[in-house]
């Protein structure tokens, strides 16, 4: 974490006259401090690989073939046009690795999240690597790659879970910060299991944004997207007392899951709790519970924690959720203060989406996460975090 608050652009310090600048003014100043090195390297590479432009083009940074950020409507759709790492053995050379988990066989109503990674990558082309008010330019401050997708097995959740755990364990143990593009929420169990394989005797807390508890043992006789936390919190590395659920409520919460939450004393805040106690207090609550006795925190962000009006492209939309700006503020506050070991964004279903708005929300959550991790000094990593054990543990939870 950053010790000196003045280093953190979110800290508003007074000027010589004792006046605290507003965020807009501060942002103008922050931009001037950012380097342009990454951008210049991208331009040089573009001209080398993509050839110099036709003679009539006055801007000589433009190549003939699009080879970088610009134009936003062109190019090959990796996340944020990050380099595609075909050889996954090289993933540890990057600060952050994006991986898609196109799995929707755990869905109990509207399917389509197998297209989530594609949808998120496609609309991420709309974004620049720079954020105005945070004063962050990801291209200048971290190295990002996209390792493509896990090979999931659509007719079999359990085989897919094994593939997902193996893939996530590989990325996590490499030292690259894993960001998972779901996929339905059934992947929450195998992703955390993948992390736990490399925790040794260390522990992970889980902060779970959702309208639904997802804590029942089975649904429709299988481990579906309503079940990840029952199984994840059976692992000794992921205690139930460190599971925090934010935004739960409405008419889609199964009573069997509620019973499990009660039995395991899981920490739940409804949308009303969050808005009445205030976003900062809710973030404090989440951090306190998730970090109590643990070594790192996994963020599981179900896009349906946001009000259904903003995220139509999801499996079980539920009105009355968080506003986007509330969810982003809450997330940002948590990321500023907790040691984060990875992020998954799940339940984006492009076939039900309108104008890519749900995929865009997922993109926003991911980009904000990377920015806050830079601001809090968690990225880039100077060395592998101590909670990553070099040796993989055997299968942690048998399915009986
Ligand atoms: Mn949900």
pLDDT for the residue numbered 276: 98
Q: What is the pLDDT of residues 335-378, one digit of tens each?
A: 999 999 999 999 999 999 999 999 999 999 999 999 999 999 99
pLDDT tens sequence across 275-328: 999 999 999 999 999 999 999 999 999 999 999 999 999 999 999 999 999 999
Q: Are strands 296-302 and 204-209 parallel, antiparallel or unpaired?
A: parallel
319 Cα–ligand 1 center, Å: 12
Which stretch of DSSP H or E encloses residue 286? helix 279-291
- pLDDT more than 70, % of the chain: 96
Confidence class for position 12, pLDDT limits 50, 70, 90: low
In the predicted model, what is the mean pLDDT of residues 104-114?
Answer: 97
Chain segment 358-368, per-residue pLDDT in tens: 999 999 999 99
Give distance in angstroms: CA of 360 to centre of ligand 1: 17
Specify the pLDDT at position 6: 47
User: Ligand 1 mean position to 228 CA, how many Å?
Assistant: 11
Residue 184 CA, ligand 1 centroid: distance in Å = 9
For residues 285 and 281, give the distance between their C-alpha atoms in angstroms, rounded to a whole number: 6
d(CA 113, CA 317): 13
Surrounding ion ligand 1 within 5 Å at CB are 210, 212, 302, 304
**Contact of 243 with 231, CB cutoff 8 Å:** no
- The rounded percent of the chain whose pLDDT value lies above 90 is 93
Structure-model confidence comparison of residues 399 and 44, the more confident one: 44
pLDDT digits (tens, 9 = 90+) for 220-235: 999 999 999 999 999 9
302 Cα: distance to centroid of ligand 1 (angstroms): 6
Residue 168 has pLDDT above 80, yes or no: yes
Residue 395's pLDDT band (cuts 50, 70, 90): confident
- pLDDT tens digits along 57-93: 999 999 999 999 999 999 999 999 999 999 999 999 9
**Distance from Cα 201 to the centre of ligand 1, integer Å:** 30
- What is the Å distance from ligand 1's center to 75 Cα? 33
**Distance in Å, CA 39 to ligand 1 centroid:** 38
pLDDT of residue 10: 59
Whole-angstrom Cα distance, residue 44 to residue 330?
Answer: 39
Whole-number pLDDT of residue 8: 60
CA of 316 to the centre of ligand 1 (A): 7
Q: How far is the CA of 210 from the centre of ligand 1 (A)?
A: 5
What pLDDT, on the 0 to 100 scale, is given for residue 9? 57
Residue 396 pLDDT:
74
**Residue 40 pLDDT:** 97
* Distance of CA 205 from the midpoint of ligand 1 (Å): 19
Q: Cα of 43 to ligand 1 centre, how many Å?
A: 42
CA of 185 to the centre of ligand 1 (A): 7
Mean pLDDT of the chain: 95
CA of 225 to the centre of ligand 1 (A): 8
- In which band, very low, low, confident or very high, does the pLDDT at 398 lie, cut at 50, 70 and 90? low
Distance from residue 183's CA to the centre of ligand 1 (Å) = 12
Measured in Å, residue 271 CA sits from the centre of ligand 1 at 14
Question: Residue 199 Cα, ligand 1 centroid: separation in angstroms?
Answer: 27
Nearest to 203 by CA among 292, 297, 294: 294
Q: CB burial class (10 A; 0-12, 13-18, 19+) of residue 130?
A: middle
Residue 19 · residue 116 · CB < 8 Å: no
């Amino acid at each position: 974490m950053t010790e000196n608050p003045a280093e953190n652009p979110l800290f508003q310090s007074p000027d010589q006259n004792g006046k605290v600048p507003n965020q807009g003014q501060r942002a103008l100043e922050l931009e001037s401090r950012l380097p342009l090195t990454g951008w210049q390297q991208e331009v040089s590479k573009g001209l080398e690989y993509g050839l110099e432009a036709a003679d009539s083009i006055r801007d000589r940074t433009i190549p003939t073939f699009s080879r970088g950020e610009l134009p936003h409507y062109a190019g090959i759709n990796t996340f944020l046009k990050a380099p595609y790492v075909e050889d996954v053995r090289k993933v540890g050379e990057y600060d952050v690795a994006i991986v898609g988990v196109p799995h929707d066989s755990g869905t109990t109503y509207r399917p389509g999240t197998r297209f989530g990674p594609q949808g998120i990558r496609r609309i991420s082309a709309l974004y620049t690597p720079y954020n105005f008010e945070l004063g962050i330019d990801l291209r200048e401050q971290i190295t990002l790659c996209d390792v493509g997708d896990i090979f999931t097995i659509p007719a079999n959740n359990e085989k897919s879970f094994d593939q997902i755990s193996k893939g996530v364990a590989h990325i996590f143990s490499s030292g690259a910060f894993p960001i998972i593009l779901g996929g339905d929420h059934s992947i929450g169990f195998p992703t955390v299991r993948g992390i736990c394989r490399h925790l040794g005797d260390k522990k992970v807390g889980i902060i779970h944004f959702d309208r639904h508890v997802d804590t029942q043992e089975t649904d429709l006789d299988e481990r579906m997207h309503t079940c990840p936390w029952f199984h994840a919190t059976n692992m000794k590395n992921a205690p139930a007392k460190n599971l925090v659920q934010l935004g739960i409520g409405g008419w889609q919460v199964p009573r069997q899951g509620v019973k499990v939450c009660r039995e395991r004393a899981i920490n739940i805040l409804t949308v009303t709790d969050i808005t009445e106690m205030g976003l900062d207090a809710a973030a404090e609550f989440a951090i306190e519970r998730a970090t109590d006795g643990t070594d790192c925190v996994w963020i599981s962000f179900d896009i349906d924690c946001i009000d259904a009006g903003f995220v139509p492209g999801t499996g079980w939309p539920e009105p009355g959720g968080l506003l986007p700006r509330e969810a982003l503020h809450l997330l940002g506050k948590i990321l500023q203060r907790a040691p984060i070991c990875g992020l998954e964004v799940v339940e984006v279903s492009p076939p039900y989406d309108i104008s890519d708005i749900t995929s865009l929300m997922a993109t926003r959550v991911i980009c904000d996460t990377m920015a806050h991790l830079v601001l809090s000094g968690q990225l880039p990593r100077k060395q592998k975090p101590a909670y990553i054990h070099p040796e993989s543990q055997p299968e942690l939870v048998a399915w009986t």
